[in-house]
């Protein structure tokens, strides 16, 4: 059996990768488990040095890795290269701060000495998606390795080249053999990976449906899981917002990675008083974003990653229109090879439509009119998801209050697009998942938070 990578810009097969057999898979996991016997014994400064070397390896071949990403999943080359830079940043961040995040914490009790220590769990299984082939993997593996765990990567089948490249990067940086390995197996084999006795915890980034399956399997085996799942991020446009700036930020957020981001803006909830003006600005700016060859350094919008995903998105658009939504722009599948979809704007979107209730994982903006701020907040929270949210207002104090106490999401931004940052915890609530990646909270997800009491 093989895993196939297809260029989404052309529809042509790039390469077929032979998947690992059951015997090979078990052997690799066993080797990663053996590597765990020694890896936690290394000093923090040694792990930090290896992460810093990893950052150097990433930057030295940034264009090479960027082109590989663009070839396999279609994102514009400049976004791919920026992704490599972000991975390097994460390596440096945890190299600088990881040891302090995991430093023993003295707790005063009636003991002569008591403290909390953070010890690695063992082999971590990372099940990662195709939309950010390097970043999703690195934001999991970097803190996990810094904490003393060893890691197995089961990547999305359509980015197998990226999965193998990540293993090469870790090896080139000088990490001990088998501290990190990539497995080339289909999604159907995930349960067997979780069942392996050496696997102590699971990190999944993917759809809510996949998350439910992994969560159920891990829970049945009493294994910890961190889940970063789907999102339908609301962006609230209040009547005192700087509409020009808001529209620019909203379009940028909606079209990042051709709209294929869990924290891309998806639902634009606009107070009625400014709805027409904001919609006009969105239309004007969306029209300027032209899809082109993703390998061109100047391209801002590439194809979607796969034709089946494009077709699913188009069906959501059509069903929303059947339910009363109006298509202001796009909504058309181009008659060209590849997984292309034109930037699309839907207006008159309401609850019960796919454009409101479901995640639109592509370049489709859903504009929703609210009579006032109170209703805008209610509409924002009327969702099964809770990953990110944003609010636009000139009253920063009011924006902070809404972001802090009113919006139900794992990350709430004011006058800015929602993004991940190595310094801040990242994750969601409701059906967007649980647990956190990044920051101090992320590195502490896959450790034993152990109390030590000495009388």
Q: How far apart are CA 393 and CA 400, in angstroms?
A: 10
Contact 297, 78 (CB under 8 A): yes
Token pair 């030295």 is at which residue? 60
228 flagged as catalytic: yes
Active site residue 72: no
DSSP 348-396: S--TTSHHHHS---SSEEEEEEESSHHHHHHHHH-SS--SEEEEE-S-H
Of 83, 228, 359, 437, the active-site residue reads 228
Among residues 79, 262, 373, 445, the one annotated as catalytic is 262
Alpha carbon distance 169, 173 (integer Å)? 6
Task: Name the token pair of 62.
Answer: 């940034």
Token pair listed for 237: 């446009």
Compute the distance between CA of residue 306 and CA of residue 73 in angstroms, rounded to an integer. Answer: 8
Cβ contact 9:74 at 8 Å: yes
Q: In this structure, what token pair is assigned to residue 453?
A: 């009491």
Measured over the CA atoms of residue 207, residue 212, residue 214 and residue 218, the dihedral's sign is: positive
Element (DSSP H or E) covering residue 236:
strand 233-237
User: Which residues are the active-site residues?
Assistant: 228, 262
């Amino acid at each position: 059996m093989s895993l196939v990578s297809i260029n989404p810009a052309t529809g042509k097969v790039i390469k077929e990768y032979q998947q690992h057999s059951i015997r090979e898979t078990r052997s690799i996991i066993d080797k990663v488990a053996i590597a765990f016997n020694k890896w936690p014994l290394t000093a923090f400064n040694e792990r930090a040095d290896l992460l810093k070397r990893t950052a150097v390896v990433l930057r030295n071949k940034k264009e090479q890795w960027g082109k590989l990403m663009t070839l396999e999943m279609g994102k514009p080359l400049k976004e791919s290269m920026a992704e490599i830079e972000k991975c390097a940043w994460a390596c440096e961040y945890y190299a600088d701060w990881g040891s302090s995040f995991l430093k023993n914490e003295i707790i005063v009790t009636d003991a002569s000495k008591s403290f909390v220590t953070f010890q690695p769990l063992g082999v971590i299984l990372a099940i990662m998606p195709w939309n950010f082939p390097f970043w999703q993997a690195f934001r999991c593996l970097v803190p996990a390795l810094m904490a003393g765990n060893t890691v197995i990567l089961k990547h999305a089948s359509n980015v197998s080249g990226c999965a193998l490249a990540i293993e090469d990067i870790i090896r080139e940086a000088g990490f001990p053999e088998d501290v990190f390995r990539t497995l080339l197996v289909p999604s159907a084999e995930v349960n067997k990976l979780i069942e392996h006795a050496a696997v102590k915890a699971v990190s999944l980034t993917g759809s809510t449906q996949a998350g439910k399956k992994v969560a159920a399997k891990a829970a049945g085996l009493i294994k910890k899981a961190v889940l970063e799942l789907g999102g339908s991020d609301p962006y609230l446009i209040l009547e005192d917002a700087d509409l020009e700036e808001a529209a620019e930020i909203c379009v940028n957020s909606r079209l990042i990675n051709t709209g294929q981001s869990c924290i891309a803006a998806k639902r634009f909830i606009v107070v009625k008083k400014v709805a027409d003006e904001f919609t006009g600005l969105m239309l004007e700016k969306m029209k300027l974003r032209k899809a082109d060859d993703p390998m061109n350094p100047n391209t801002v919008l590439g194809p979607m990653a796969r034709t089946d995903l494009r077709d699913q998105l188009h069906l959501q658009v059509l069903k929303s229109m059947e339910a009363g939504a109006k298509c202001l722009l796009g909504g058309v599948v181009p008659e060209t090879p590849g997984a292309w979809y034109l930037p699309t704007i839907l207006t008159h979107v309401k609850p019960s439509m796919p454009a409101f209730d479901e995640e639109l994982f592509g370049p489709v903006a859903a504009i929703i009119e609210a009579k006032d701020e109170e209703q805008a907040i209610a509409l924002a929270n009327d969702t099964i998801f809770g990953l990110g949210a944003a609010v636009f207002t000139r009253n920063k104090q009011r924006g902070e209050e809404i972001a802090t106490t009113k919006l139900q999401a794992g990350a709430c931004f004011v006058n800015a697009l929602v993004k991940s940052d190595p310094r801040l915890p990242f994750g969601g609530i409701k059906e967007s998942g649980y647990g956190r990646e990044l920051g101090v909270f992320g590195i502490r997800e896959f450790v034993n938070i152990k109390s030590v009491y000495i009388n």
